[in-house]
Structures are given as structure tokens and as C-alpha cells.
Amino acid sequence: MGAAGEMLKPTEAAVVACVALRDVNRVIDERILPEGFFSLDDGRRVAATACTLISFYFDSAKRLTAEERLFAIREVGSRLHRFRARALASLVEEDWTVRDEFLTIDLAPFVRRTNERLERLSAAQKMVVSDPEVLGGLPIVRGTRVPVHDIAASVAAGIPTDRIVAAYPSLDADKIELAAIYAEANPARGRPRTNDELPKGAVIVADRRAPRRRKAG
């Protein structure tokens, strides 16, 4: 990962842009993103640089009008498109200021954040492996048998990092954060399995219903 023109899945773009998945779909459906920053040919894909524009559009909503935001996206978008063959990290030092009469907008912070988040997503993807011989091919943390989505579920449930580390000594705080990033970018497929076992200590009193007696009339 790292190329400005690299195409991401919508779930990956949502992680990099720090927005909800529905927001990524919205900027595509409403053509908020300029042409060339997304593709519909083989499933939805979003250019890595588009995450800069997506995060700017939603984060600046309270300070700028929709017209002002769209103006900035058009101006910066044309520059980003010219640099699509370059590494995103190399664009951080470029000037991302746009001006319209009295209005001046600097998108440099969004470019930096996009680069940082893209690097974290790349690190997460390198950390995770899937082997059909291990846990049926579930995504696990490299070098362990710990399912990534189990870790992410613990994080989502608000379990403190030190408790997760205590349960999985092969992990550390950074791996736990990367696991959560990976799981968000790659949601588990299918419905969760149901557990047909009774809770520990439960006792079956009867395995069939007895007919209810009628009262004498």
C-alpha cells in the first residue's frame, strides 16, 4: 500500500477516511467525488487519495457550506489526480491550499491523516494471515492462533487493553489496535454461529411438554 492511485474497498476507504461506510457510499452515489476517484466496474472501489476528500467533506461540514466544500474538492481533486502515480507519503509536503476570493482552505492536515491511516491499514494487513490448516482459514494474527475478529470484538465491547493482553499474552497494544483496524476494513462474513449447548450448571428437568389438565366442569 502507499500509491496515491491505489484502489480500496469501501470498507477500507471508510477506515482510512475515518467515516462510516454509508458516508463512502454516499460520496459515490451523489457524485461528490470527482470522476477518476472511484470505480464501479468490478464492484465499488475508491482511490486512496479520495479518502482525503471524503474526510474533508464530512469533517468540515459544521464550518463550511456544501458549495464551499465541493469547490475545495474540485480544486484539490485535480491536483491529486495528477499525482496518482506517486506514493501518497510523497504528497504530504505539497501545498494543498485553495483560495476563492476571501476564502482560504488548507487540506494538508487531511492529506497527512490519510497517509498515516493508510500506513496503519497496510501494517494491519501485513500482520494478518489466513491458513486453511489453522482454525479453518480464519484470519489470525501472524505467528499465533488468535482470531483477529475475536480481538476486534473484545475492543468493540470496551474490554481494556491490559485484559485483552492478559487473555492473549502473544499480543501487545499495537497488535490489538491493528487487529481492530483490520476487522473494520474486512468485516467477518456470514452470521455468527449459534451455540446449542446449555450454560454450565444448567439441568434438563424434562425434555417434553406435559399436556395441561382441564378443570372439571
Output the CA torsion 39→44→47→50 (10° steps): 100
Q: Are residues 134 and 165 in the same domain?
A: yes
Residue 154 inside a domain? The answer is yes
The string of pLDDT tens digits covering residues 83-108 is 877 788 888 888 999 998 889 999 99
Q: Are residues 148 and 112 in the same domain?
A: no
Q: Are residues 136 and 105 in the same domain?
A: no
pLDDT at residue 83, as a whole number: 81
Residue 165 inside a domain? The answer is yes
Q: Are residues 49 and 111 in the same domain?
A: yes
Residue 208 inside a domain? The answer is no
Q: Are residues 77 and 144 in the same domain?
A: no
**In terms of residue numbers, what domain contains 42?**
7-120
pLDDT at residue 86, as a whole number: 78
- How many domains are there within the chain? 2
Residue 192 inside a domain? The answer is no
Q: Are residues 110 and 16 in the same domain?
A: yes
Residue 200 inside a domain? The answer is no
Q: 120, 154, 175 — which closes off a domain?
A: 120
pLDDT at residue 4, as a whole number: 64
Q: Are residues 87 and 22 in the same domain?
A: yes
Residue 45 inside a domain? The answer is yes
Residue 216 inside a domain? The answer is no
Residue 210 inside a domain? The answer is no
Positions of the chain with pLDDT under 50: 191-217
